[in-house]
Homo-oligomer: A and B are copies of this chain.
Amino acid sequence: MARNRRPVPKEQKRDELLAAAAQLLVLDGYEATSMSRLAQHAGVAPNTLYWYFHDKDELLVAVADRYLQALLREHASLADRPLADQFLWLIERLRPVKHLVATVHNRVAVSASVREWHTGFHQSFENLFERQLAGPLAAEHRTAEFAAATFILEGAITHGIDEATTGQLCKITADRLHRVAEAKMNAI
């Protein structure tokens, strides 16, 4: 048990800092937002951020995860919509943070915490695919097909694609996954 407790529980304050950080990071991006400015916007000294987060990368990961978890919670209520619609919804929801998605991919090579979160991010996508497809995929196709679907969605998020093309990409990806799940491999 915690021996000492502050008036504001640690988890809560951490979440407040996260909420404040999310605003600035979404607005201006990772590299254009300094720890000083994040602290200032949260009404706290820069060093306080380093008490709750080891790194700027760890802060990025926490913000990204906060966003992702909220997204997945919201997504749960759409689970019976057509898969292409779910993809479209996901893309439109992730577009506002597309620069952060790009930053995550960029910092995978640099930061261990980002690297770890990134694999979880992909895992979430694959879990979603698996859940939606009812039948399990043949093991030999699963990895590549899921990777292809994930890459298309990631590309649609991070690149500024027009609405019509985005819709087509969602349809292409969903159709393909359904076909593979039905194991009509000769038609693929």
Output the least CB separation between A54 and chain B (Å).
18
On chain B, the residues within 8 Å of A144 by CB distance are 165, 168-169, 172
Q: Which residue of B lies closest to A103 (CB)?
A: B106
A109 touching B105 in the complex, CB below 8 Å, given contacts A147-B165, A148-B169: no
Q: How many residues of A contact B (CB 8 A)?
A: 36
Q: Which residues of chain A from 16 to 44 have a CB within 8 Å of any chain B CB?
A: 29, 31-32
A32 to B111 alpha-carbon distance, docked (Å): 12
Query: Which one of A3-11, A58-66, A69-77, A150-158 is at the interface?
Result: A150-158
A102 touching B108 in the complex, CB below 8 Å, given contacts A144-B168, A148-B169: yes
Output the least CB separation between A103 and chain B (Å).
6
A173 to B122 alpha-carbon distance, docked (Å): 20
A152 to B172 alpha-carbon distance, docked (Å): 13
A161 to B151 alpha-carbon distance, docked (Å): 12
Q: Which residues of chain A from 116 to 158 have a CB within 8 Å of any chain B CB?
A: 122, 141, 143-145, 147-148, 150-152, 154-156, 158
Output the least CB separation between A28 and chain B (Å).
10
Beyond A102-B108, A106-B106, 4 additional pairs, beta carbon < 8 A: A102-B106, A103-B106, A147-B156, A175-B188
Could you give 5 example pairs across A and B, Cβ below 8 Å?
A: A31-B110, A105-B105, A105-B158, A144-B165, A147-B165
Residues of A within 8 A of B (CB): 29, 31-32, 98-99, 102-103, 105-106, 108-110, 122, 141, 143-145, 147-148, 150-152, 154-156, 158-159, 161, 165, 168-169, 172-173, 175, 187-188
Top 8 A-B pairs ranked by shortest CB distance? A151-B155, A144-B168, A106-B106, A102-B106, A99-B109, A151-B152, A102-B105, A144-B165
